[in-house]
Amino acid sequence: MAAPEPDRRSKPGPAQWGTRLVQKGFNSDVMYRGLTFHVQTEDWGRDNPFLVSRVYQAGAVIKSVKTPYSEVLSRLQLRDPEAIRLAMREQHQQILDLLVSGQLF
């Protein structure tokens, strides 16, 4: 029996899944009003060009934000891994800011 393939998502920087180049995402745990929220932001890659943030509470998704690349990146930035990572980081921080300010829900 062949050994299982390693989990490529654990490597830093962009990961290659077939022809799909994706960025490693961001994860944060935040306490707000006595509750713990987990915020996850990920890049769905060039084949499915969206940045997606999800807010979890007690394991359930309670908010999801899906942003097309075209809303946050210029045409020239669409293939720039650093520009994509920066846009993903900015979206993640915006979700965190909205959550702790009470404006997310």
Give the pLDDT confidence of 7-57 residue by residue, as tens digits: 333 333 444 444 445 668 999 999 999 999 999 999 999 899 999 999 999
pLDDT tens digit sequence for 61-98:
999 999 999 999 999 999 899 999 999 999 999 999 99
Give bridge partners of residue 30 from the DSSP assignment.
Answer: 37
The answer as to whether 5 is a domain residue is no
* Number of domains composing the chain: 1
Burial class (CB in 10 A: 0-12, 13-18, 19+), 51: buried
pTM for the full model?
0.77
CB contact set of 50 (below 8 Å; sequence gap of 6+): 43, 44, 66, 67, 68, 69
Burial class (CB in 10 A: 0-12, 13-18, 19+), 61: exposed
The answer as to whether 80 is a domain residue is yes
pLDDT at 21: 58
The answer as to whether 13 is a domain residue is no
The answer as to whether 42 is a domain residue is yes
Range of the domain at 71: 21-100
